[in-house]
Amino acid sequence: MEPRVTAPGPQTVPAPAYGPQSPAGERPDASGPTAKPPWRRAGGLIIAAGLLLLKFGAKLKFVLLLLPKLKLFTTSASMLVSIGAYALIWGWQFGVGFVALLFVHEMGHVLQLRREGIKASAPMFIPFLGAVVAMKELPKDAAAEARVGLAGPVVGSLGALVPLGVYALTGNDLFQALAFVGFLLNLFNLLPVLPLDGGRAMAALSPALWLVGFGLLIAVTFLYPNPIMLLVLLFGGFETYRRYKARKEPASQEYHRVSRGTRIAVASVYLGLAALLALGMDATFIDRDFGDV
């Protein structure tokens, strides 16, 4: 704990010349300097601060107008806020590691979007909800949507191998926990439900799988109630209903027209990655007895 400095108490202002005498029995010298009233001292500070603001106001205004336009600032600021939020519960080291895993996952989407020629926003981090990347336009077809959707879990899973390697070298449980959470994060995103990455992959296979995944998510949410699951159900329900209702429209049928080879490739990556992530979670699981805490 840092030492605290106690401020001195209020000082006694000398009495005017016509007031009571000093303890020594003598009147104060009226010709000497007198203390300024508190309101005058405060006024001087306010005036000085105002002059500084006037002097640097133009520069400050320029900086404040520029900051929202800087993608790097927006991304880094949301990262810092998320790290602070997670640090309140799990400590700053885990917070930094977890946000780094989210960043790697989202950058997988960004890189693939660029490969597809689609403009996208920088990753934005939302405490306890993860992170998002906004597309400036829709993919040209369901195959492109599936590639963008799977790119996040693929790159994110590779990112989770980093703390796994550090754990293998050091034996530090922190990195084991980060590896486990990294595998869990990417496996959760593979759920075949919109707007998760798995739901994007299902667009290239069969829209009917959205209904199957949505039903499974309802069952999991009922067994393990969670605010995040409820939000996924809410937003995913609207998008699933909208897209499934429009599945017979000519534009929708053209969008979902995918070659057989592409379907096989998407299904192979999806199922293979899900299996590897499940094995990774099993290998890095930490069994703790919270009853002893």
Give the pLDDT of residue 181. Answer: 95
**Distance between alpha carbon 198 and the CA centroid of its chain, in Å?**
20
- Average confidence (pLDDT) over 209-234: 84
pLDDT tens-digit readout, 90-121: 999 999 999 999 999 999 999 999 999 998 88
Highest mean pLDDT, choosing among 6-15, 53-62, 274-283: 274-283
Residue 120 β-bridge partners = 135
DSSP string, 30-55: TTS--PPPHHHHHHHHHHHHHHHHHH
- Average confidence (pLDDT) over 44-48: 47
Per-residue confidence at 46, pLDDT binned at 50, 70, 90?
A: very low
Give the pLDDT of residue 166. Answer: 96
- Model confidence at 289: pLDDT above 60: no
- Model confidence at 174: pLDDT above 70: yes
Map residue 131 onto helix, strand or coil.
Answer: strand
Give the pLDDT of residue 12. Answer: 35
Give the pLDDT of residue 132. Answer: 86
Decide which of 206 and 260 is more confident.
Answer: 260
- Average confidence (pLDDT) over 57-84: 59
Q: Where is average pLDDT lowest: 49-58, 139-148, 152-161, 197-206? A: 49-58
- Average confidence (pLDDT) over 265-283: 96
Q: Residue 260 corresponds to which tokens in the numbers above?
A: 């057989």
Query: Rg of the Cα trace of the chain?
Result: 30
Rounded to two decimals, the pTM is 0.71
Per-residue confidence at 288, pLDDT binned at 50, 70, 90?
A: low
Look up residue 210 and give its DSSP letter: H
Decide which of 223 and 6 is more confident.
Answer: 223
In sequence order, the 6+-apart residues with CB closer than 8 A to the CB of 268 are none
Length of the chain: 293
CB 164 within 8 A of CB 280: yes
CB 107 within 8 A of CB 132: no
Q: Residue 196 corresponds to which tokens in the numbers above?
A: 């998760």
Where exactly are the structural domains of the chain?
A: 70-287
| Tokens 């590691």 belong to residue | 97
Measured between alpha carbons, how far is 41 from 34 in angstroms, rounded to an integer? Answer: 13
- Model confidence at 53: pLDDT above 70: no
Give the pLDDT of residue 13. Answer: 36
CB 210 within 8 A of CB 196: no
Look up residue 124 and give its DSSP letter: E
